[in-house]
Amino acid sequence: MATSIVSEALYTTISEGTVTSPMGFEAGGFHAGLKRKRKDLGWIVSDVPATAAGVFTMNAFQAPPLKVTKESLSGGILQGLIVNSGNANAFTGKKGLEDAYEMRKQFAKVMGLKEEETAVTSTGVIGEYLPMEAIVDGIQQVPNFKETTNGTDFAEAIVTTDTITKQIAVTCEINGKQVTIGGAAKGSGMIKPNMATMLAFVTTDADVEESALQSALSSVTNNTYNMITVDGETSTNDMVLLLANGKAKNDPLSESHPEWETFLSSLEVVCKQLAKMIAKDGEGATKLVEVHVSGAQTENGAKAIAKSIVGSSLVKTAIYGTDANWGRIVCAIGYSGESVEEDSLSISLGDIKVVDHGITTAFSEDEAKSYLENESIHIYVDLDKGKEEATAWGCDLSYDYVRINASYRT
């Protein structure tokens, strides 16, 4: 049965936690001139080289920073990363790749890192060259900001159309040692499951073997970041990076470690909360939408149906308009590609059952409309054919989404 591995007994959320909550990490961000006023250059550095893992966008056109970061990540070790917002350095050809390498070179030199242990990330407008003079000048200023900026400044520096910063940290106990996991993310538009237009950076002071770390990130990503959608668009740039520097001094973690589930559960908490923050902050969104599908024969089938519903423009606009048009949910299930029997299907909006084993119920339209006015909407689908389940997250679709994206470059 595919259920969440998360148990609240295994972790504690840190108030105002950031990527610097784990021991041995520093981070910061400031305005370097890529955007008009907002912070646009951020960095994370570990005191020591950290075991690292990554997952990347499924878009066929992968931006130069991803290529450079993949190259750095091939050794399984990262100690630092530099991020700019406001310009994606995507679809920029040979010059874009040269600029990404130059960013890595300059940041590594300033921070005393190895180039091959340094990651580079960019996010923003596609098809424009980086303003390298501003980038290089900004990187030279990083040491001047080390004492005055922090993890929250980093979270602010990586956003584009986001309306809020997205960060969290939790602690858990492994081998009698306190282990901390922190994360920051950006993402608001061009969001679709299977790694989309988002960046997420996760740090931990746990000691984790390289192969186990990659396995953990890939597994957790499938149940968190890959289960969100805002607008069905998959970007060219985005990634999740996970750094583990071992400063907690626990016994090295692997999948055979007796407390592996504790680490995996805590990592899932961080990634799930970041994913939900991205979904809730969708461009122009007014509501977070959570779709839970149960009673499926396979986990993949449950996931496909959940993502089909949460990604439906008609479902999203109905929720925005507080219209309990459950027929749109049925349609999204029907074109999900999964085999579903009509007389086994039940659907609820929150606690309001609107379909019961293929038959519409005598629900109150006024009550349903009132429920859909909430900021958090839950849709429950029971297929009554198995024991597998899955959850996906998204948002409603408002007039503001069109307004924001009709003038993105201006």
Active site residues: 197
How many other β-carbons are positioned within 10 Å of the β-carbon of residue 206? Answer: 28
Q: Which residues pair with 348 in a beta bridge?
A: 353, 380
- Rounded CA-CA distance 185/199 in Å is 5
Environment class of 162 (CB within 10 Å of its CB; exposed 0-12, middle 13-18, buried 19+)? buried
Query: Which SS3 state, helix, strand or coil, does residue 15 take?
Result: coil
Percent of residues in the chain assigned helix, strand, coil, to nearest 5: 35, 25, 40
**Closest among 391, 376, 14 to 167, alpha carbons compared:** 14
Tokens of 329: 């949910």
- Residues across the chain: 410
**Closest among 166, 156, 187, 229 to 397, alpha carbons compared:** 229
Q: What is the DSSP letter of 258?
A: T
Q: Residue 388 belongs to what H/E stretch? A: strand 388-395
C-alpha R_g of the chain: 22
Answer whether 255's CB lies under 8 Å from 138's CB. no
- Rounded CA-CA distance 14/7 in Å is 16
User: Which residues, including other chains, have CB under 8 Å from residue 70's CB and lie 6 or more apart?
Assistant: 54, 56
Query: Which SS3 state, helix, strand or coil, does residue 221 take?
Result: helix
Tokens of 368: 């349903």
Chain centroid to Cα 284, Å, comes to 18
